[in-house]
Structure formats: structure tokens, C-alpha cells
A = this chain, B = another copy of it.
């Protein structure tokens, strides 16, 4: 089984990127090579993390393209050029075009800070997810890793784990505890993908036993 080449797309701090890098280093993520980190934001700390680990870091400036379609074509080209097998979205704040999703069919993974289908869809990213969960008054939330399809947060679910909401929780404290779970689930999902242990059947994802 050929080693899978991974590209991570990130707009911010890149803690999920770090979790994947750590997973590869420690051997929990197997059969994977992190080939490239791309950001739309030149100041994303994710780029810094990549460089610090000797991984190619690429800023692609959205302002240099007439629109989203052209920007995504450039993304596709850069990833293709490096023969990327798996695209991991780790806090990437832009919506991918249908063409991008088709170009990497069943090969894009995203991590979302709630138990999908709760608190997801258009406009649900970052702190807002946790704010809405707290305002709704749920007692349980969690994290989801899923394949990306042409909808927003609608693709087949790979892994989910629950997180209890505590009475004293703020948006920040809840986000932090959910992020810890994201850091567990994302590397695990990448490992499963890279070892060909995931099978999509309609909306269900089957996990082959180790």
C-alpha cells in the first residue's frame, strides 16, 4: 500500500495540523506523509508550524484571483502537482467550490466542533458553534470528523465523540474541551484513511477493524 500524501488547509493557529503532525511523528498516524500546508492567510500560525517541521508551507493569496472559482482552481493545481491523496481541512475558513470537492472526491476530511447534525451548516464555524450550543442549553456536545461533500458539513461521518457541557462552561472553556477531542479524532481518522480502513456506503462510513 503506497504511502498517502497529505495536504492540510488551514487559516489559523493550526492546532489540528499540529495534532496530525504529532500523530505522524509518534506513529499513531501510519502510512502517511504530510506533503504540504496551504493557507489563505499569510499570518496563519499553521504556516509557521509547517516550516518549523521542514514541511512545505504555501500561502495562496485570495486577493490575487478574480474569484472563488479561480482561487480553487489554483488550489487544485498546487495539490495535484504534489500528487496529494488526502486533503485535511484544519480550521480552513473558506468554502471549497464544487469543482474542488469533485477533484478530491471522498478524499477531503474536515473536523467540526459539534455532534453533526447539531450546530452545523452555513455560518456555523469557530466560536459561534459553541455559543449556539450554550444558548440552546444542550448538556452534551462533541466533535465530528467527516468527509466533505458539496454541502456544508453534510458529508459522511467518520468519527464522533461526545463532550459533556458543564454548568460553568463559557464559549472559551467549552471550545477548549471540544478541541482536545478534535485533536484525538482527526489524527485517528487520518490514520484510518491512509491505511485504507474507511469505506463509504451511501451516508455511512464503515471502519475496517485493525
Contacts and interface: CB of A to CB of B under 8 A. Distances in A.
Interface in A100-145: 115-119, 134-140, 142
Interface of A: 115-119, 134-140, 142, 156-162, 167, 202-207
Please tell me how many copies of the chain the complex holds: 2
Contact of A157 (B137, B206, B207): B137
B204 A137 contact: yes
A115 B202 CA distance: 23
B140 A156 contact: no
Nearest to A143: B140
A94 B153 CA distance: 33
Chain B CB within 10 A, most for which of A134, A157, A206: A157
Nearest to A154: B136
6 contacts: A115-B162, A135-B204, A136-B157, A137-B203, A140-B161, A167-B206
B135 A157 contact: no
A70 to B, nearest CB: 34
A172 to B, nearest CB: 17
